[in-house]
Amino acid sequence: MFKKQSASSAFTIILLILAGEAVFVLPFVLARIFRPTFLEVFAINNTQLGSCFSVYGIVAFVSYLFGGPLADKFKPNKLMAVALFLTALGGFYLASYPSLFLLHVLYGFWGFTTIFLFWAAMIKATRIWGGTNNQGIAFGFLDGGRGLTAALFGTLGVLLFSFFVTSNINDTSLSERQSAFRMVIIAISLIVSVIGVLVYFFLKNDTYSEQNSKISQKLTLQNFKVIMKYPSVWLLMIIILCAYFGYKMTDVFSLYAKDVMKYDDIDSAQVGTYLLYMRPIIGVTIGLLADKTRASFWIVIGFLLMLCTSLIFSTTFINSNETILFVLSIVIMAIGVYSARVLYFATLEEAKIPLALTGTAVGFISIIGYTPDIFAGPIIGYLLDASPGVLGHRHVFMTMAIFSFIGLLAAFAFYKISTKKNA
C-alpha cells in the first residue's frame, strides 16, 4: 500500500513538473534559447519582442487576480489541461510567422492561458503535495524539474534546428532558417498537447479536494481581506518582483554570448540550454537545504549572489577573451537566481498563510510580483537597442543590480519577521 501511494505521489509531482514548464516553453523558453534566431525569423528587434512580453504581462496582471480564487474552487487537472491545449494551439499559430501586431495578440492570448487557468492551480497543488514539513523540497522538485524539462525542450529544439539546417548556419538563407525554426515550433506544440492529455486523465485530485476547507468557499473579497493582513504577503510581492526580474535577465545570456563573446547562433543557443540544466541541480539542492534550515534564509543568499554577479557583468571585466570568467559568473548568477525562484512560494508555509487560501494568496502576491512580465522586456529591449553591443549589456546588468539590492532588503525583512513568528 505504501509503495502504491509513493508511486502515485511521484507520478503526481512528475506531471506537475512536466506541465509546469511545458505551458511556458512556447511563450518564453523558445525566445530565451533562440533569441538571436527568434528576432531574425520574425524580423523584429529587442524592443519589439519586449513589447510582446509586455502585452503578455498586462493580460497576466489581470489573470493573476481572478485566476487565484479560481484555483481555490476547482480541481487542477481540468484547469491545467485546458491551459496546455490552448497554449499549444497558439504555438501552431506561431509557426505561421504572424505579423508583429498579431504576435502581440498571440502573447496576450498566452497571458490568459498560462496564468488565469494554470498558475495558481499548479502552485496550490505543489504546496499540498509538500505537506507541512517539505515545502522546500516540493518547490525544489517543481522548479528544478521544470528547469530540467526546459533544458530538454531546449536541447530538442537545438537538435531539430541543427537537423533541418542542411548547411553551415552562417551560410543559410533567412527562408531556410525560418523553415527549420517552424519545425521546432510545431514539434514543441505537439509535445505540449500530449502533456495536456496526460494531465487531464492522470493528475490525481483526491488530496487536493480533501484539503479544500470551508474557508475557500467564502466570498473572494473576504479572502483577500484575510490575506492582506499578513505583512509577509506584502514583502513577498517585492521579493518575487525583484527575483523574477533577475530570472527574466537569463533571457539575454544567449544574446550576450553572441554580442560580447562572439558565439554563432547555435553556440549561443547552447549557452541558454546549459543554463537550464543547472536549474534542477540547484533547485533540488536548495530545496533540501531550505527544509533543514529556513527558506527565507536561502532567498537572502540568492539575492546576495545576484547582486555580486550583476555588478561584475555591468563592468568591462567579461569579454570574448575571458571565457572562464564568463562561465563562472553565469554559474554563480544562476545559483542566485534559481535559489530565489525555487523558494519564494515555499515561504507560504513559513509565513503561516492558510492552506485553503493558497490560490488567493498566490494570485494577490503575483499581481505585483510578476509585473516584470510587463516592464522587464521593454526595459531590457530598449537598453540593448539604444546602446548596441557591450555597452547595452552593461546597462542591463546595472539595472539588475538595483533590483537585486531591493530584493535583498525585502528578503532580509521577511526573514526577521518569520523568525519571530516561528519562535
- For 133-184, what is each residue's pLDDT tens digit? 777 788 888 888 887 888 888 889 888 988 888 766 666 788 888 999 999 9
Write the DSSP assignment of 261-310 as a string of letters.
S---HHHHHHHHHHHHHHHHHHHHHHHHHHHHS-HHHHHHHHHHHHHHHH
For residue 84, the enclosing domain spans 2-422
| pLDDT of 26 higher than 70 | yes
pLDDT tens-place string over residues 277-311: 787 888 888 888 888 888 889 999 999 999 999 99
Q: What is the mean pLDDT of residues 126-131?
A: 80
With beta carbons less than 8 A apart as the criterion, state whether 236 and 349 touch: no
For residue 55, CA distances in Å to 58, 66, 85, 403 come to 5, 18, 21, 22
Q: What are the pLDDT digits (tens) for 201-223?
A: 988 755 444 445 444 445 466 77
Q: Which of 23, 398, 67 is nearest to 245 (CA)?
A: 398
Contact at 8 Å (CB) between 254 and 268? yes
Domain count, the chain: 1
| 79 CB burial (10 A radius; 0-12, 13-18, 19+) | buried
Q: Which of 91, 94, 121 is nearest to 19 (CA)?
A: 121
Please give the helix or strand (H or E) that residue 182 lies within, else none: helix 174-202
Looking at residue 80, its pLDDT comes to 93
Q: What integer pLDDT is reported at residue 320 of this predicted model?
A: 61
Whole-angstrom distance, CA of residue 230 vs CA of residue 358: 13
CA 239, CA 242: separation in Å to the nearest integer?
A: 5
pLDDT tens, position by position, 308-340: 999 988 886 776 666 788 888 888 998 999 888
Confidence of residue 357 (pLDDT cuts 50, 70, 90): confident
CATH code at position 126: 1.20.1250.20
pLDDT score recorded for residue 107: 97
Angle of the 390-422 helix axis to the 295-313 helix axis, nearest 10: 160
Cβ-contact 28, 21 below 8 angstroms? no
Q: How far apart are the C-alpha atoms of 10 and 187, rounded to whole Å?
A: 27
**Does 163 or 404 have the greater pLDDT score?**
404
Predicted confidence at residue 202, as pLDDT, reads 87
